[in-house]
Amino acid sequence: MASPLAWITVDLKAIDFNIKQFRCLLKPQTKIMAVVKANAYGHGLFEVAKQSIKSGAASLGVITAEEAITLRKHGVLQPIVVLGAVAKDEIAPLIRNKIALSVFNEESYRAIARMADIINRKAIVHVKLDTGINRLGFPSVDSALRIIKLISAKTRQFELEGLYSHLASVEELNQSYTNEQILLFERLVRKVANIGIKIPVISLAASAAAMMVPESRFNCIRIGISLYGLWPSRGVELWCKRSKKTRNFRLKPALTYKTRLVQIKRVKAGSYIGYGCNYQAKSAMTVGVIPVGYFEGLPRRLGNLGFALLKGAVVPFVGRVCMNMIILDISRRPRAKVGDEVILIGRSQNKEITATDVADWASTINYEIVSRLPEHITRVYKP
């Protein structure tokens, strides 16, 4: 196979390192769910799932039935939870493959119960309470408790494996709202315990809360963005580095995104570069073309705002980001040649561009940058 013109390298040792960093924060009995939804945040579903299990994750979180079934077809036998909604015709295959479904309203409960009856198989379920994000989930403690009682009574149709919720504003360091959500979730946990119903997996904390808010950890944390070595926000990173309890906590980014120069040319002073003629060369300059654009996951907004690395130098994007190409000002690298590596995310000598840097330039978040890296870009895995 010929060398690709653009490729992503995923360091599986970094995935292992990040899981073990979280393990150091937890009690021995607290479990880790590795969230590998959205193609493992752009890193590659199966390889990351396999490494996460190898590194100690007790279960995997996905968002679609397709992701879950794909993992089973690849031989993953560990517990998998679908954290999102599924179509009615997807319920039976999930039940047959012993994949946990989310029950987040009466309709989802009824649909799963009906299908479990039809195929005469027990459905594994996790009940979701909405504690304040106003997204999926039962809207109140009482409504969730009523369904939990029904599920617990229907032992032929259901195995109640989990109870969970999601915090809305930990990344923004909004502790008061986070505390309100924790109290609401605790109220349901207590009521369930008081009526003698045992639920094995109680989960509230995702990456940021797992680092910052010990009382949110319960007996299972769900790590998504930080599984891949990325901080949920710059505020969380700063908080962790300043706190005595987490000052030694580190994350290693797992992903590097590279491409190659495919053309180099001299441009005269006054020449326009790219679509819309929105960049004009103030003086004679050398530009390089790379064969990636917004189809390859680089936001169009990065036109005249983004940067890459070439032989240890920072080189700016000039002109608009095209569908499949970007033009770079490489005037400061006169010895550059066609075929040279260009780093879009990663390190070159003593310089580094992170997914968070790219997100800042594009006025978005690192979650979006990595999760939108298309699957057709070749992934290379470093064991």
- pLDDT tens by residue, 298-349: 999 999 999 999 999 999 999 999 999 999 999 988 899 999 999 999 999 9
Residue 24 has, within 13 A of its CA and on its CB side, a CA count of 13
Identify the bridge partners of residue 126 per DSSP, sorted by sequence position. Answer: 102, 162
| Domain residue limits, the chain | 12-242, 255-382
- pLDDT tens by residue, 128-182: 999 999 999 999 999 999 999 999 999 999 999 999 999 999 999 999 999 999 9
Residue burial 54-71, b: 16+ Cβ < 10 Å; e: rest: ebebebbbbbbbebbbeb
Residue 163 has, within 13 A of its CA and on its CB side, a CA count of 28
What is the biggest distance separating any 2 CA atoms in the chain, rounded to whole angstroms?
Answer: 79
Matching CATH number, 255-382, of 3.40.50.2300, 2.40.37.10, 3.40.30.10, 3.40.1190.20: 2.40.37.10
Q: For residue 267, what pLDDT is reported?
A: 97
Question: What would you report as the CA-atom Rg of the chain, rounded to the nearest whole angstrom?
Answer: 24
Two structure tokens written together for 307 = 């940067």
- On whether the pTM is more than 0.75, the answer is yes
In sign, the C-alpha dihedral spanning 107, 113, 117, 122 is positive
Q: How many other C-beta atoms can be found within 10 angstroms of the C-beta atom of residue 20?
A: 11
Residue 251 vs residues 12, 15, 123, 212, 353: alpha-carbon distances, Å: 13, 9, 36, 14, 15
Dihedral (Cα; 171, 172, 178, 180), 10-degree rounding: -160
The DSSP call for residue 272 is B
Kind and range of the H or E element at 381?
strand 378-382
Q: For residue 347, what pLDDT is reported?
A: 97
For the chain, the straight-line distance linking the first and the last C-alpha, in angstroms and rounded, comes to 21
Q: For residue 334, what pLDDT is reported?
A: 81
Query: Beta strand pairing status for 31-35 and 220-223?
Result: parallel
Angle of the 45-54 helix axis to the 12-23 helix axis, nearest 10: 40
Identify the bridge partners of residue 159 per DSSP, sorted by sequence position. Answer: 124
Catalytic residue among 13, 20, 245, 275: 275
Q: Can 275 be counted among the known catalytic residues?
A: yes
Two structure tokens written together for 30 = 């607290």
| 3-class secondary structure, 36 | coil
Q: CA 117 to CA 115: how far, in whole Å?
A: 5
pLDDT by 10-residue block (mean), the chain, 383 residues: 88 98 98 98 98 98 98 98 98 98 98 98 98 98 98 97 98 95 98 98 98 98 98 97 96 98 98 97 98 98 98 97 98 93 97 98 98 98 97
Two structure tokens written together for 200 = 């094995």
Q: Is 244 exposed, middle or buried (0-12, 13-18, 19+ CB in 10 A)?
A: exposed
Q: CA 373 to CA 169: how far, in whole Å?
A: 25
Please check whether the two domains, 12-242 and 255-382, share a CATH topology: no
Dihedral (Cα; 52, 54, 56, 61), 10-degree rounding: 30
Tell me which residue of 110, 218, 195 sits closest to 157, measured CA to CA: 110
Tell me which residue of 181, 192, 90 sits closest to 148, measured CA to CA: 192
- Number of H-type helices and E-type strands within the chain: 12, 18
Identify the bridge partners of residue 61 per DSSP, sorted by sequence position. Answer: 35, 81
CATH architecture of 12-242: Alpha-Beta Barrel (3.20)
Q: For residue 380, what pLDDT is reported?
A: 98
Catalytic residue among 37, 50, 128, 258: 37
Q: Can 128 be counted among the known catalytic residues?
A: no
Phi, psi of 307 (to 5 degrees): -140, 155
Query: Beta strand pairing status for 123-128 and 285-290?
Result: unpaired
